[in-house]
Chains A and B, each alone.
Chain A
Amino acid sequence: MSENRRILFRNPADESFTTKLVLVCLSLVFLGFFLFLPLVVVFVEAFRKGGEAYYEALAEPDAWAAIRLTLTVAAIAVPLNLVFGLAASWAIAKFEFKGKAFLTTLIDLPFSISPVISGLVYVLLFGTGSLLGPWLKSYGIEVLFAVPGIVLATVFVTFPFVARELIPLMQDQGTGDEEAALSLGASGWQTFWYVTLPNIKWGLLYGVLLCNARAMGEFGAVSVVSGRIRGLTNTMPLHVEILYNEYNMVAAFAVASLLALLALVTLALKTFLELRFGAGAAGGRH
């Protein structure tokens, strides 16, 4: 009798088991179609003709050049935005000043601009019809359709990632720790190095991870400024496009699988940071 009634009773702030089951299954089907299958298909297509074909596609010199260029671009763009992220979040989180909210909005700007437009603005700035482009060219400096242009477009697109992660984190932590350190006689740099940095290191790491994933994977902005010269200005995502348009599917998906792997590693590290250090360390919106 009592057993029977317990089954009838349901927590008033909860759904029935059937409802839960239906909702969970619906979510799983949705995610299956939109997240899991696309991921799976990348690896399946990459290995369609076996491990050897996969390996050959990656060992090809143009693919290597693309991988090298992607790594180079990320190696320049990420540290630049890291330094900016630290400076901006220090200014915004540790001080009260006029126009702060506006500055925060401006930092978010690249998130809401089409990557194609992010590339376009540099084409207009350094292209043939501009003032800067021909002037720089006369000194032998090529920006557009060369590595500097690709770096600039990547920096633009990945601009907010580190700052976005750090600002809320540092605002939550307030200024108490820094004031304590300063009152104990630490210099500004010592305070930053020994007090602030240890407090934000996991959030910082997560911001850098996301920034890096986006820097290596950026397509639209880079495609506008690169000129797609094989072996010279082709990054990995651009190389994927070229191979795909040549119907060289195995090679296209092979290079794509490396980028997918990068994404998976990024997510795994993010999840690890969250589990290990709590949601505060690696949360936030992107």
Chain B
Amino acid sequence: MEVKINNIRKEFDRFAALHDVSLNIASGELIALLGPSGSGKTTLLRLIAGLDFPTAGQIFFGEEDASHHSVQDRNVGFVFQHYALFRHMTVAQNIGFGLKVRPSASRPPKSEIKKRVSDLLDMVQLSGLENRYPNQLSGGQRQRVALARAMAIEPRILLLDEPFGALDAKVRKELRRWLREFHDRTGHTTVFVTHDQEEALELADRVVVMSQGKIEQVGSADDVYDRPQSPFVFSFIGESSHLPVEVKDGAVLFQGEPIGISQGSDSAGDLFFRPEDVVLTDEREALSGKVTASRRLAGTRIAEIDIANNGHAPFHVEVEVPLHAPIELGSEARFRPTRWKIFTK
């Protein structure tokens, strides 16, 4: 099922949680809404589900305007961050609930419900636990019951709110891989919310990066990491440093001095670069600063460098250096970005 979000706006008591958001989700896609807390990602998910109503704008499921439909009629599978399992019901009763509450005309017979429940338990690899209560399951098992329960109603789309947020690191990694396989097998259009960029980049076909109620960028993991389109995306995803620069006659100037890199048109703005996109150099036209700290990071070394700023607090940047590079604390380091982006002010 294809989902189209057209100019959605959501206000809570005058405070705008979403400004004019539009997004097209292709059928069968696995898409991540990524952003810091307060960016509006969960609000957007809840609007798609029909748990909240937009102040303005429309949401289409395929050709049908879903904006008019209540949550009960939208037929979406929603998995809550804290599972929201019914604790007085067994695992089987939880999964069968969505079928049991259907109006009698469309409700499957009891034997059919039972079979569907057992198929779903197979699918989430929890066979044998049908008579347990949620209280008797581990966090990862509860999350899978919640997913099976959402799948039982044969949803048109699957929505997951921070699906791994409440789990510990190891289980989280396992479930992440498992969810990817599950999606590839069932092919449901799936939207999940996360604040964990590693999770979003690893799992999703496309990542929607959000900040302050707006979509900053939509793209594949490579797009948002290698070709960030805004200062926010550049600094939110991965590690980066930035310095104020101006461009004159094609040369990039920092504190009025050329630093050995060049770009087309004249402008002023912030130069962004990642620690790994930097080389040490002896040339005069380069950035230079004092090494204040260095730390080992897996196969490389990160040097922290302070660049003097005319008596103001120094600029702080981080660069990756070869393991055996002659870096001493307190010494002068000269370097140049090899890949960068300037965002004009």
Contact = CB atoms under 8 A, between A and B. Distances in A.
Interface in B50-64: 50-53, 55-56
Contacts of A8: 68
B71 A5 contact: no
Nearest to B57: A2
B70 interface: yes
Contact of A12 (B55, B56, B67, B70): B70
Interface residues of B, number: 11
A2 B57 CA distance: 9
A9 B67 CA distance: 10
B53 A12 contact: no
Nearest to B72: A12
A5 B55 CA distance: 10
Interface string A8-33: 11111000000000000000000000
A6 interface: yes
A8 B50 CA distance: 12
B71 A12 contact: yes
Main secondary structure of the interface of B (DSSP, over half): loop
Interface in A6-62: 6, 8-12
A186 to B, nearest CB: 39
Contacts of B67: 5
B112 to A, nearest CB: 27
A5, A6, A9, A11 interface centre (most CB from chain B within 10 Å)? A9
A12 B51 contact: yes
Interface string B313-331: 0000000000000000000
B52 to A, nearest CB: 8
Nearest to A9: B53
B68 A5 contact: yes
B72 to A, nearest CB: 8
B56 to A, nearest CB: 6
A51 B52 CA distance: 59
Contacts of B68: 5, 8
Contacts of B50: 12
B53 A6 contact: yes
Contacts of A11: 52
B71 A2 contact: no
Contacts of A6: 53
Interface string B61-91: 0000001101110000000000000000000
Nearest to B49: A12
A2 B70 CA distance: 15
Contacts of B55: 2
A9 B51 CA distance: 10
Contacts of B72: 12
A77 B53 CA distance: 59
B6 to A, nearest CB: 13
Interface in B20-75: 50-53, 55-56, 67-68, 70-72
Nearest to B54: A2
Contacts of B51: 12
16 contacts: A2-B55, A2-B56, A5-B53, A5-B67, A5-B68, A6-B53, A8-B68, A9-B53, A9-B70, A10-B70, A11-B52, A12-B50, A12-B51, A12-B70, A12-B71, A12-B72
Interface of A: 2, 5-6, 8-12
Given A8-B68, A9-B53, A12-B71, 13 more contacts: A2-B55, A2-B56, A5-B53, A5-B67, A5-B68, A6-B53, A9-B70, A10-B70, A11-B52, A12-B50, A12-B51, A12-B70, A12-B72
